[in-house]
């Protein structure tokens, strides 16, 4: 079949999910009519197309496929391993070439015309030993999709040089795991209009001032890009897309957006912020003059205040009733405080994702209803909202002040002890129902350099002040039993696990074993909370074994003051922190 394909004029070649693991030397050069190729799909296989011995033939065939417009190489495995015989790193991608200029390693190939302007840059790279990529694209390539790649990435400083990017419009590099964003250059300006970098860790873009590859992008997709980690930090991610018109930042665990988040994105017309944790519409969208569609579904919106209602009415009037606002899946309230919003919902010309405007909402008594039913029975639900007798209110407040002042003072002064008492009794009831008994409240994992601080400060506060039982290896492990069994039994018999990270923590192999056992018990749903105290170390020291359950781990940068103890107390005695 392969020999037949090589001998005919193929316009569209789809070899997706064909379990391809490699290709023979010289195979690409056997194409009789490479100019015929316009669409190539090689996704869902198990190979890297640009292995070291095949690099030269890859470069030749890419220059011959002058009519190639559509190329898809997603869902494959790529290696950045060094080729020892010449110290040349090859980015194994059908349209990439990576060259590392090192002493004693010369690349014997004539420079192309496209890169004559970069001779000085390459010579500099030779002197300072900087890794560079030379990326050759087919002349007419329009669509490039290299998504969901498994890589063995090595973190180095990189420079990418592109050629033949004039016709490139659609690029999908979603779900790549990289730790450092490369410097990107091109002989001619980039004119990419659609860019999907979903799944990319956006924190590597925080301090980028400009990325030429992003400058002309009109549709930017940044789903699952961890944008929630960039909130409040130096640098603006969105300023890298000055011409963007359609922006998708859904599924990013965003709970806040800066007021000036979109100050450089005034061309935005469609914004998708769905599936985040925003409790209100971000103020940043008000300053977008061309915004015509805002997807705010599946957030934590309870109501829409007057400022945003007036703003949307104005937008709807400008766009003649075609302004779209999606709010499906939010936690809407149908109470006296939101009655104006309910009335506005059925009188505005704004277009919602549900044409009949039937959205779920919570009533004052906590029961669930829907906006249509509440609006039809509007008088029944809200007739008593403004009919209170202010005299009775005043008298009630006075009596309440006298009655509750003393109890409130007592509760306020002993709030932590009361909270802890309620917490312990509630946990006992739950544990009794689950028939699960614990020997310890906390299993403590630490390095030897923290032993003195634990004995002098930590145990005094936890055991004496908070009345919690702690399992400490140097004190509670039985002599004569194997250490591995003691660790496993102690973790299995503990409610919570606390790791105290120091610089020497990672040097202890038993600490790695403790980490794996904690992960095992958490997966069995027996271990309730995992807390990491970063003391005299950095947050990057967090054990990689916990990456799979990191969403269930609380990390505290420890301060040797009451603030640190308050954070630990909140983590132990509350459901979330």
How far apart, in whole angstroms, are the C-alpha atoms of residue 58 and residue 26? 9
Q: What is the pLDDT of residue 397?
A: 80
Task: Report yes or no: 122 and 101 within 8 Å, Cβ to Cβ.
Answer: yes
Q: What is the pLDDT of residue 304?
A: 94
Q: What is the pLDDT of residue 427?
A: 66
Strand, coil or helix: 16 = coil
How far apart, in whole angstroms, are the C-alpha atoms of residue 275 and residue 278? 9
Which numeric CATH code is attached to 440-573? 3.40.50.10140
Q: What's the pTM value of the predicted model, to 2 decimals?
A: 0.58
Q: Which of 571, 511, 516 is nearest to 549 (CA)?
A: 516
Distance of CA 436 to the CA centre of its chain: 35
The string over 470-494, giving b where at least 16 C-beta atoms fall within 10 Å of a residue's C-beta and e elsewhere, is: bbbbeeebeeeeeeeebbbbbbbbb
* Phi-psi region at 274: left, alpha or beta (left = phi > 0; alpha = psi -120 to 50): beta
Q: Two tokens at 4?
A: 């037949």
β-pairing, 368-370 with 360-363? Answer: antiparallel
Q: Which of 223, 216, 276, 267 is nearest to 245 (CA)?
A: 267
β-pairing, 131-136 with 39-41? Answer: unpaired
Tell me how far CA of residue 443 lies from CA of 188, 269, 468, in angstroms. Answer: 60, 53, 11
Q: What is the pLDDT of residue 436?
A: 60
Q: What is the pLDDT of residue 158?
A: 66
Block means of pLDDT (10 residues each) for the chain, 577 residues, are 88 90 81 92 80 71 90 75 32 34 32 36 40 78 88 59 89 85 83 93 85 92 90 74 95 90 93 95 93 95 94 90 92 91 93 93 91 91 69 75 79 79 70 65 87 87 88 86 87 88 80 84 80 76 70 82 85 66
How far apart, in whole angstroms, are the C-alpha atoms of residue 336 and residue 567? 36
How far apart, in whole angstroms, are the C-alpha atoms of residue 47 and residue 450? 48
DSSP state of 385: T
Domain ranges of the chain: 385-435, 440-573
First to last CA, the chain: 60
How far apart, in whole angstroms, are the C-alpha atoms of residue 39 and residue 70? 5
How far apart, in whole angstroms, are the C-alpha atoms of residue 102 and residue 116? 20
Q: What is the pLDDT of residue 298?
A: 96
């Amino acid at each position: 079949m392969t020999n037949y394909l090589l001998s005919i004029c193929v316009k569209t070649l789809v070899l997706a999910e064909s379990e391809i693991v490699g290709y023979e030397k010289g195979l690409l050069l056997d194409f009789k009519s490479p100019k015929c190729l316009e669409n190539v799909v090689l996704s869902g296989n198990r190979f890297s197309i640009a292995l070291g011995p095949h690099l030269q033939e890859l470069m030749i065939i890419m220059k011959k496929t002058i009519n190639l417009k559509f190329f898809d190489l997603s869902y494959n495995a790529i290696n950045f391993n060094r080729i020892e015989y010449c110290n040349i790193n090859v980015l194994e991608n059908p349209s990439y070439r990576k060259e590392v200029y090192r002493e004693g390693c010369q690349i014997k190939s004539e420079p192309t015309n496209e890169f004559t302007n970069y001779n000085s840059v390459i010579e500099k790279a030779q002197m300072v030993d900087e890794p560079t990529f030379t990326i050759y694209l087919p002349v007419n390539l329009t669509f490039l999709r290299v998504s969901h790649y498994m890589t063995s990435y090595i973190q180095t400083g990189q420079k990418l040089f592109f050629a033949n990017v004039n016709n490139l419009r659609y690029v999908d590099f979603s779900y790549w795991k990289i730790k450092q964003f490369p410097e990107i250059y091109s002989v001619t300006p980039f004119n990419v209009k659609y860019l999907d970098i979903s799944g990319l860790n956006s924190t590597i873009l925080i301090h980028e001032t400009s990325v030429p590859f992003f400058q002309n992008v009109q549709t930017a997709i940044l789903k699952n890009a961890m944008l929630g980690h960039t909130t409040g930090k130096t640098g603006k991610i969105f300023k890298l897309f000055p011409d963007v018109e359609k922006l998708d930042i859904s599924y990013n665990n965003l709970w806040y957006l800066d007021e000036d988040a979109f100050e450089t994105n005034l061309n935005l017309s469609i914004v998708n912020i769905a599936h985040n944790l925003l409790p209100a519409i971000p103020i940043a969208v008000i300053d977008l003059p061309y915004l015509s569609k805002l997807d705010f579904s599946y957030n934590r919106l309870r109501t829409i205040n007057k400022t945003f209602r007036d703003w949307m009415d104005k937008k709807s009037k400008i766009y003649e009733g075609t302004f779209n606002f999606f709010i499906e899946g939010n936690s809407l309230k149908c109470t006296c405080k939101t009655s104006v919003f309910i009335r506005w919902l059925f009188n505005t010309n704004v277009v919602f994702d549900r044409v009949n405007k039937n959205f779920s909402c919570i009533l004052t008594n906590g029961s669930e209803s829907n906006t249509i039913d509440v609006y039809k029975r509007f008088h029944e639900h809200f007739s008593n909202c403004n009919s209170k007798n202010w005299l009775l209110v005043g008298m009630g407040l006075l009596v309440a002040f006298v009655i509750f002042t003393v109890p409130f003072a007592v509760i306020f002064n002993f709030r932590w002890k009361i909270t802890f008492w309620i917490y312990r009794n509630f946990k006992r009831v739950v544990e009794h129902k689950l028939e699960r008994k614990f020997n310890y409240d906390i299993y403590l994992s630490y390095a030897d350099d923290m032993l003195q601080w634990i004995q002098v400060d930590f145990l005094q506060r936890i055991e004496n002040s908070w009345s919690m039982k702690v399992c400490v290896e140097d004190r509670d492990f039985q002599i004569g039993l194997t250490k591995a069994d003691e660790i496993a039994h102690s973790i299995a018999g503990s409610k919570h696990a606390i790791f105290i990270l120091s610089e020497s923590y990672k040097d202890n192999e038993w600490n790695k074993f403790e980490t794996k056992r904690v992960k095992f018990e958490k997966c069995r749903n027996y271990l309730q909370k995992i807390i990491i105290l970063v003391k005299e170390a950095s947050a990057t020291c967090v054990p990689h074994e916990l990456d799979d359950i990191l969403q269930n781990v609380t990390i505290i940068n420890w301060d040797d003051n009451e603030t640190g103890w308050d954070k630990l107390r909140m983590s132990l005695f509350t459901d979330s922190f």
